[in-house]
Amino acid sequence: MQIMKKNKLQIGMIGCGVIGSNIFDIISKRHADVYKDHLVVKSIIVRDIEKKRDLNLLGTKISNDISDVVKDNEIDLVIELMGGEEIAFDYISKCLMSGKHVVTANKEVIAKRGSELFKIANNNSVELRYEASVGGGIPIISSLGNDFSSNKISGIRAIINGTTNYILTRMSDGTSPFSEILKDAQKLGYAETDPTADVEAFDPIYKIIILSNLAFGINPDHNLIYREGIKDIKSKEFIYAKELGFAIKLIASAQKFSKKLLIRVHPALIPKDIPMANVNSSLNMIEVNGYLTGPLWFQGAGAGAETTSSAILNDVFRIKDEISKSEKQKTKIFPEDLQLLSMDMHECKYYLRITVKDKAGVLARLSKILGDNGISINTVLQKDTDVKFNNAELVIMTHKANEKIMMNAIDNIEKLNDVVKFDSLLRVEEY
Amino acid sequence: MQIMKKNKLQIGMIGCGVIGSNIFDIISKRHADVYKDHLVVKSIIVRDIEKKRDLNLLGTKISNDISDVVKDNEIDLVIELMGGEEIAFDYISKCLMSGKHVVTANKEVIAKRGSELFKIANNNSVELRYEASVGGGIPIISSLGNDFSSNKISGIRAIINGTTNYILTRMSDGTSPFSEILKDAQKLGYAETDPTADVEAFDPIYKIIILSNLAFGINPDHNLIYREGIKDIKSKEFIYAKELGFAIKLIASAQKFSKKLLIRVHPALIPKDIPMANVNSSLNMIEVNGYLTGPLWFQGAGAGAETTSSAILNDVFRIKDEISKSEKQKTKIFPEDLQLLSMDMHECKYYLRITVKDKAGVLARLSKILGDNGISINTVLQKDTDVKFNNAELVIMTHKANEKIMMNAIDNIEKLNDVVKFDSLLRVEEY
């Protein structure tokens, strides 16, 4: 156990992009008057030391050699902000093994290698904190870790990717396609040059794994989790969804069914009058369902330099507060041994859009397939009849059905001669 | 400092009403299998030991003498659930002085006498926790205490009284008057036989004091805080508010203006598209504005036996976890020395309803008074012309104005010969 001999924490920082610069600015400039008694940034490790940075470094060393932090015995705590898996894992584990506490915003390394890292931290009697990895400044990691010891959690459901929520919000009026809004989002800095992690929903997968670990003690392989991004959603879906009373959001969910846990990430329709339907732009919302508390909702800005800095600095202060005390064992009075539940077992209502030949009996044949599979129809809208090709569009809202059975029914629907194109399937989120 | 010699916490409970019985049931029956390794309820103190209780007491003693808990050296922790100020203060302080940790749901005693009690707890190296005092199972006390050390908080705004929110939600269709719905609420157990604490807004005053203490380090006298209940709100206000795009909620707010803090509790109009406008029935929502995080919202069931039990049991486990360690000093890097700001300094838009003589020039004379006071009008609706008495109703929405100036203008309006009755003033909450 690292015992602080002084009152002031010496910090090493790995990575100095938008968030790193912002934290450095808060500590060393904007609030130097209050921070100077608590923290000092001794070294910053960056990939390219030649790069122009708008920082007044004063006494802070800048280097591209991780050993300048690892081997510096005066450094108590390291803030890791480089992201990614392999190198981050290497650097974080080296810092932990040299007796330094680590605070990170890196969801990927925590989701994929967290259990190894926590073991290393524990063996070296140091702390590894990661509040900033999920939900920006929303204190969801702290809350799940501290405030649910008397609760079984039955489910977590969240909007936890700011980029996709921004894009979906912009698409909600149905006038602009995904590709156009993605370009806008990139120009405005809401989406990365390579947007894969967000639009293909890897980012929310990592985040829901982290939340599931805290809530359910499960440590699933991210490759086993159902993942569906937003890049295939058409703008007209938003118009019809609205007509039916729904918004479209990218949902990350982990839900318990007896001894099984279903984790899934996909776009979903949410009834307009549900709070989550109105979580717009880069806001995040996490819903936690405790068996004593009922549903609790945590909402706030899920991304941005300031709010992420808040989460990181708060972790730094938590460690500073605890640093002279022995390691804590959190009481977990409901030990659980959960396994992943297959997406096949998911049940919900479905929204289907299908282009069909505009002739008698099509809807009947289509309904028969659904009916034969035990799926009943709630609403049918006939849309956009295309006189030239003699096509019509059907928008179907089903009653609750099972995922595997629905997929089977869709296979059969696609084989119908009168079906020109199966355009869309969206799941309706249940509240 | 109390050091636990055993693994199992022995608990004394003061009060055994709805919440006490529920906690006892959870520990001793519903989840006895998991709780039995952690906790045992050794004694329960009640006012009337003869009263019939549907509890299987097994080994638990029941008594009406507080010394059966205070003098029992085996009891580590006391759960106080009696409510009220004087006797609760006496009992809690005796427990703390005899080296017992205390967990309470009592907002009144914490709001009025908290600083004395925390001093006693500190002097006796025991903990006093009170998560259940505000927001039911929403972990707002924990969050304000732990997750904002790097933040200045600029304001807190909340719907934190389930009873009044239930009544206002029921009134929102404008068909039933307050008195009728209050009776319903009493029948359904949502309101007490003596509803004063809720409908006169004492309860939210206590709660906003507790939150303000955590957020701003201020300890105001509750008599100095602006308090307005809901019993004078007419049902037609809901109809007009809706027409103008607003919901009506009882808001408790603590907001910083430079070195001053304005705390106020009163009914307010909230724009329909704001999340807080849609917090209905007995739900609570607390908005915390951090300078790094921006606004964060915490929402969930604010009342009820289960959710309150959750908060209490979680506090019990927090203490169990910490019990063998030395007292923690939370870092507060932004020490503040705030004073109360007068409600006179509040600024907002106002909704006014006024019954006037239906004749030419009335609106002009009324507008002149507002204009002379620098208050400009946003919207005027003329409603319910009463032909028999030759009266008309004016609903006026103003632009932003100062409270003191508005009160002065209203004094002058009431003196106009053409004003039959000044019906209503409501403040519009700004987002």
Residue of chain B with shortest Cα separation from A149: B314
Contact B323, B76 (CB under 8 A): yes
Chain A contact set for B273 (CB, 8 A): 278
Residue of chain B with shortest Cα separation from A298: B298
Chain B contact set for A131 (CB, 8 A): 147
One-character DSSP codes across B186-252? HHTTSS-SS-HHHHTTHHHHHHHHHHHHHHH-----GGGSEE--STT--HHHHHHHHHTTEEEEEEE
Phi, psi dihedrals of residue A250, rounded to the nearest 5°: -90, 115
DSSP code of B52? Answer: -
Say yes or no for a CB contact (<8 Å) between B314 and A278. no
In Å, how far is B201's CA from the nearest CA of chain A? 24
A158 and A267 belong to one structural domain: yes
Q: Is B207 a catalytic residue?
A: yes
| Three-class SS state of B406 | helix
Helix axes B162-171, B178-187, angle to 10 degrees: 130
Residue A330, domain member (yes or no): no
A158 and A277 belong to one structural domain: yes
In Å, how far is B279's CA from the nearest CA of chain A? 9
Q: What is the CATH number of the domain that holds A23?
A: 3.40.50.720
Phi, psi dihedrals of residue B360, rounded to the nearest 5°: -60, 145
In Å, how far is B143's CA from the nearest CA of chain A? 7
Say yes or no for a CB contact (<8 Å) between A317 and B150. yes
Judged by a CB distance cut-off of 8 A, whether residue B136 touches chain A is yes
Pick among A276, A292, A320 to test the B interface (most B CBs inside 10 A): A292
| Closest in A290, A310, A334 to B293, CB measured | A310
Residue A329, domain member (yes or no): no
Closest to B356 (Cα-Cα) out of B417, B408, B305: B417
Residue B337, domain member (yes or no): no
Alpha-carbon distance A157 to A295, whole Å? Answer: 10
Phi, psi dihedrals of residue A4, rounded to the nearest 5°: -75, 125
B146 and B274 belong to one structural domain: yes
B182 and B285 belong to one structural domain: yes
Say yes or no for a CB contact (<8 Å) between A333 and B318. no
Residue B207 scores a pLDDT above 60: yes
Q: What is the CATH number of the domain that holds A353?
A: 3.30.70.260
Alpha-carbon distance B49 to B56, whole Å? Answer: 14
**Whole-number pLDDT of residue A326:** 35
Q: Which string of b and e fits A168-203 if b means at least 16 CB within 10 Å?
A: bbbbbebeeebeebbeebeeeebbeeebebbbbbbb
Say yes or no for a CB contact (<8 Å) between A292 and B313. yes
| Closest in B149, B294, B307 to A317, CB measured | B149
Give me the residues of A, 254-313, that contact B with CB < 8 A.
273, 275, 278, 290, 292-301, 304, 306-307, 309-310, 313
Tell me what the pLDDT averaged over chain B comes to: 90
Residues B274-292 pLDDT 10s = 889 999 998 999 999 998 9
**CA dihedral (A43, A47, A49, A51) positive or negative:** negative
Pick among B287, B292, B309 to test the A interface (most A CBs inside 10 A): B292
B154 and B282 belong to one structural domain: yes
Residue of chain B with shortest Cα separation from A278: B275
Structure token digits, residue B284: 């609570």
Residues B163-179 pLDDT 10s = 999 999 999 998 999 99
| Closest in A142, A296, A333 to B299, CB measured | A296
Domain containing B392 equals 346-428
Pick among A33, A143, A147, A272 to test the B interface (most B CBs inside 10 A): A147
Judged by a CB distance cut-off of 8 A, whether residue B316 touches chain A is yes
**Whole-number pLDDT of residue A20:** 95
Residue B56 scores a pLDDT above 90: no
B283 and B313 belong to one structural domain: no
B184 and B290 belong to one structural domain: yes
Which of residues A80, A110, A129 is at a domain's end? A129
| Closest in B150, B296, B321 to A328, CB measured | B321
Q: Which residues of A are catalytic?
A: 207
Chain B contact set for A328 (CB, 8 A): 321-322, 325
B311 and B288 belong to one structural domain: no
pLDDT band at B234 (very low <50, low <70, confident <90, very high): confident
In Å, how far is A245's CA from the nearest CA of chain B? 15
B363 and B379 belong to one structural domain: yes
Judged by a CB distance cut-off of 8 A, whether residue A142 touches chain B is yes
Give me the residues of A, 103-132, that contact B with CB < 8 A.
131
Say yes or no for a CB contact (<8 Å) between A147 and B136. no
Instruction: Out of B100, B207, B249, B256, pick the active-site residue.
Output: B207
Tokens 């068909």 belong to which residue? Answer: B175
Chain B contact set for A313 (CB, 8 A): 149-150, 292
B158 and B283 belong to one structural domain: yes
Chain A contact set for B278 (CB, 8 A): 273, 275, 278
A28 and A92 belong to one structural domain: yes
Judged by a CB distance cut-off of 8 A, whether residue A321 touches chain B is yes
Closest to A283 (Cα-Cα) out of A253, A243, A250: A250
Say yes or no for a CB contact (<8 Å) between B149 and A318. yes
Contact A427, A269 (CB under 8 A): yes
Residue B332 scores a pLDDT above 80: no
Alpha-carbon distance B366 to B409, whole Å? Answer: 9
Residue of chain B with shortest Cα separation from A312: B150
Residue A172, domain member (yes or no): yes
**Mean pLDDT for each 10-residue chunk of chain A (431 residues)?**
61 95 94 88 94 85 96 97 96 98 97 96 95 96 90 92 96 93 92 94 97 90 92 88 90 88 90 89 95 95 92 92 53 60 88 92 95 95 82 93 96 96 88 70
Which of residues B301, B331, B355 is at a domain's end? B301
Q: Domain total for chain B?
A: 3
Residue A307, domain member (yes or no): no
Residue B334, domain member (yes or no): no
Judged by a CB distance cut-off of 8 A, whether residue A138 touches chain B is yes
Determine the average pLDDT of the residues in B62-76.
Answer: 96
Residue of chain B with shortest Cα separation from A308: B293
| Closest in A275, A313, A331 to B320, CB measured | A331
In Å, how far is B288's CA from the nearest CA of chain A? 10
Judged by a CB distance cut-off of 8 A, whether residue B328 touches chain A is yes
Residue of chain B with shortest Cα separation from A153: B310
In Å, how far is A403's CA from the nearest CA of chain B? 30
Judged by a CB distance cut-off of 8 A, whether residue B172 touches chain A is no
Structural element, H or E, at residue B301: strand B294-301
Which of residues A312, A341, A370 is at a domain's end? A341
**Whole-number pLDDT of residue A56:** 83
Residue of chain B with shortest Cα separation from A323: B328
Residue B271 scores a pLDDT above 70: yes
Say yes or no for a CB contact (<8 Å) between A143 and B143. yes
Judged by a CB distance cut-off of 8 A, whether residue A186 touches chain B is no
| Three-class SS state of B30 | helix
The ipTM (two decimal places) reads 0.87
Alpha-carbon distance A188 to A426, whole Å? Answer: 28
**Whole-number pLDDT of residue B285:** 97
Residue A289, domain member (yes or no): yes
| B235-240: long-range pairs with CB below 8 Å, 24+ | B235/B171, B235/B174, B235/B175, B235/B176, B235/B177, B235/B178, B236/B174, B237/B174, B237/B351, B237/B353, B237/B424, B237/B426, B238/B171, B238/B172, B238/B173, B238/B174, B239/B174, B240/B351, B240/B353, B240/B381, B240/B383, B240/B395
Residue of chain A with shortest Cα separation from B277: A275
Alpha-carbon distance A328 to B61, whole Å? Answer: 33
Judged by a CB distance cut-off of 8 A, whether residue A148 touches chain B is yes
Determine the average pLDDT of the residues in B214-235.
Answer: 90
In Å, how far is B38's CA from the nearest CA of chain A? 8
Say yes or no for a CB contact (<8 Å) between A136 and B320. no
B176 and B215 belong to one structural domain: yes
**CA dihedral (B61, B67, B69, B72) positive or negative:** negative
Alpha-carbon distance A19 to B292, whole Å? Answer: 12
A to B CB pairs, distance under 8 Å: 165
Residue B253, domain member (yes or no): yes
pLDDT band at B3 (very low <50, low <70, confident <90, very high): very low
